[in-house]
A and B are shown apart, each in its own frame.
Chain A
């Protein structure tokens, strides 16, 4: 405002025609600069790209008296123009692009090129060429648009990051609620389990459910995918298991029912690999069904190893009424059952070498004489030695049951 006042005062004192012209020019430039500042403030407040372009074009055209203006966005990967915004609307973009009276300014952002073109400076003498100042002004507007687009992108990124972080916290909370805080004490048995969630929160689950009359169910499961959808699916499985325990169904029929339930409550490409072993402590009977999960490992007192993989497909994969196979075993004194998820054998070091089934089984064979909780701590430590500080991409979960 002070500048305008100054120009007006100067104008009063103007004597010659030349001075008047100079003052007119100066006045115009001050107006242009004020206009530019207003445009910048206006553009920075907008968050929709199309609005930004429309305002920028209109202002750019009016500041330098351009007859028409266009902004063209070119995708640099496909080398194609993906958007054109023209001011005024009625002008075909080609007439601006091909005009002999034009100036351009462009910038690149996230593999896109944004080019502003102004055409035909209007003056009292008709259409004339733009001058150096006009080019500077166009560059300044183009820079303001670039800032607005970059700010908008950063803002969207931080909102998305916050959303993902919130989702992960929620998923972790759900998972933490399902994983048992403590396992039942079973006389004559030594039981321990662990779940170390990965940063992205996988859908691993283990449990020991007391069924009454000296029976216990040992469960391990792994849901495809991570985050909240995986956590919710595990939650469904957990709720179903705790309600089905009343029904006393044969284990294979229970698994078929769980399959149908998970199939109906999950998206078509999500499923749960699941294994359940039911121990009757009255007679040492151990019934096992493995629904598409890594084999359970049973080490006998004599040191022999048995892999239990009988069962069927993962829960929720298909609803074709395929039966599940149930394996009926005995669990004698000195026997050890080990249930785990693929986060252990597939734990990778920086050379992308997996911890592997072989190393896991070897470690189990050599160390499972320890108390169950000590064995689990030792195994987790051995996995950590292997990965050597690499990012843990999957949950690490296992459960070990020893008959003393």
Chain B
């Protein structure tokens, strides 16, 4: 199960974010166009394809001067960001 919701530039990721959910995720992520927050509170799993979608969004926003903050990350998902060294790129709170 995966869901993604956008409430005033705060995006909530819910469930398991893997390759099969990319289209659904982009339908929300592609609409972000200014400073935004991504809430990981209810995310259980993220695959490399999920990371790819976030990186693409980061790149797009970064190029237009907007920022992206990641909040409420579980230790398990923080580990995924650490292994991929993305903890040095993303602003993780």
Nearest chain A CB to B74 CB, angstrom units: 15
CB-defined A-B contacts under 8 Å, sample of 11: A224-B48, A225-B52, A268-B59, A269-B55, A271-B48, A311-B85, A312-B85, A313-B85, A314-B84, A318-B55, A318-B59
Nearest chain B CB to A202 CB, angstrom units: 10
B residues whose Cβ falls under 8 Å from a Cβ of A: 19, 22, 48-49, 51-53, 55-56, 58-60, 82-86, 88-89
Give the contacts of A277-322 with B (CB-CB under 8 A). Answer: 291-295, 309, 311-314, 317-318, 320, 322
A400–B42 CA distance with the chains assembled, in angstroms: 38
Q: Note all chain B residues with C-beta closer than 8 A to A311.
A: 85
Of A222, A312, A320, A322, which one neighbours B48 at CB under 8 angstroms?
Answer: A222
Check if A273 is an interface residue, CB within 8 A of chain B: yes
Q: Which residue of B lies closest to A346 (CB)?
A: B47
Give the contacts of A246-287 with B (CB-CB under 8 A). Answer: 268-271, 273
Of A269, A295, A309, A317, which one neighbours B86 at CB under 8 angstroms?
Answer: A317
Q: Note all chain B residues with C-beta closer than 8 A to A320.
A: 89
Nearest chain B CB to A18 CB, angstrom units: 68
B89 A224 Cβ-Cβ under 8 A: no
B52 A224 Cβ-Cβ under 8 A: yes
B86 A292 Cβ-Cβ under 8 A: yes
A314 B85 Cβ-Cβ under 8 A: yes
Q: Note all chain A residues with C-beta closer than 8 A to B48.
A: 222, 224-225, 271, 273
A224–B84 CA distance with the chains assembled, in angstroms: 12
Nearest chain B CB to A261 CB, angstrom units: 17
With A294-B83, A309-B83 already in contact, the answer to whether A269 and B56 are too (CB < 8 A) is: yes
Nearest chain A CB to B79 CB, angstrom units: 9
Given contacts A293-B83, A313-B86, A313-B89, 8 further A-B contacts (CB under 8 A): A269-B22, A269-B55, A270-B52, A311-B85, A317-B86, A317-B89, A318-B58, A318-B59
Nearest chain B CB to A301 CB, angstrom units: 27
A318–B56 CA distance with the chains assembled, in angstroms: 9
A224 B51 Cβ-Cβ under 8 A: yes
Which of B48, B52, B58, B59 counts the most chain A CB atoms within 10 A?
B48
A293–B85 CA distance with the chains assembled, in angstroms: 9
Interface of B is mostly: helix
A269 B85 Cβ-Cβ under 8 A: no
Q: Note all chain B residues with C-beta closer than 8 A to A313.
A: 84-86, 88-89
Q: Note all chain A residues with C-beta closer than 8 A to B52.
A: 224-225, 269-271
Interface size class of A (residues with CB under 8 A): 20 to 34
A224 B59 Cβ-Cβ under 8 A: no
B55 A271 Cβ-Cβ under 8 A: yes
B55 A292 Cβ-Cβ under 8 A: no
B49 A291 Cβ-Cβ under 8 A: no
Nearest chain B CB to A319 CB, angstrom units: 8
Nearest chain A CB to B65 CB, angstrom units: 14
B85 A291 Cβ-Cβ under 8 A: yes
Q: Which residue of A lies closest to B26 (CB)?
A: A269
Which of A222, A224, A273, A294 counts the most chain B CB atoms within 10 A?
A224
Q: Note all chain A residues with C-beta closer than 8 A to B84.
A: 273, 292, 313-314, 317
A311-355 CB contact bits vs B (8 Å, 1 = yes)? Answer: 111100110101000000000000000000000000000000000
B53 A269 Cβ-Cβ under 8 A: yes
Nearest chain A CB to B73 CB, angstrom units: 17
Q: Which residue of A lies closest to B25 (CB)?
A: A269
Top 10 closest pairs, chain A to chain B, by CB:
A269-B52, A292-B84, A269-B56, A224-B48, A268-B56, A313-B85, A224-B52, A292-B85, A317-B55, A312-B85
A296–B73 CA distance with the chains assembled, in angstroms: 25
A224–B19 CA distance with the chains assembled, in angstroms: 9
Nearest chain A CB to B24 CB, angstrom units: 14
Nearest chain B CB to A171 CB, angstrom units: 15
Q: Note all chain A residues with C-beta closer than 8 A to B58.
A: 318
A283–B88 CA distance with the chains assembled, in angstroms: 34
A317–B53 CA distance with the chains assembled, in angstroms: 10
Q: Which residue of A lies closest to B47 (CB)?
A: A224
A313–B59 CA distance with the chains assembled, in angstroms: 14
Nearest chain A CB to B18 CB, angstrom units: 10
Nearest chain B CB to A397 CB, angstrom units: 14
A314–B56 CA distance with the chains assembled, in angstroms: 13
Q: Which residue of B lies closest to A317 (CB)?
A: B55
A180–B11 CA distance with the chains assembled, in angstroms: 44
Nearest chain A CB to B29 CB, angstrom units: 10
Which of A222, A225, A309 counts the most chain B CB atoms within 10 A?
A225
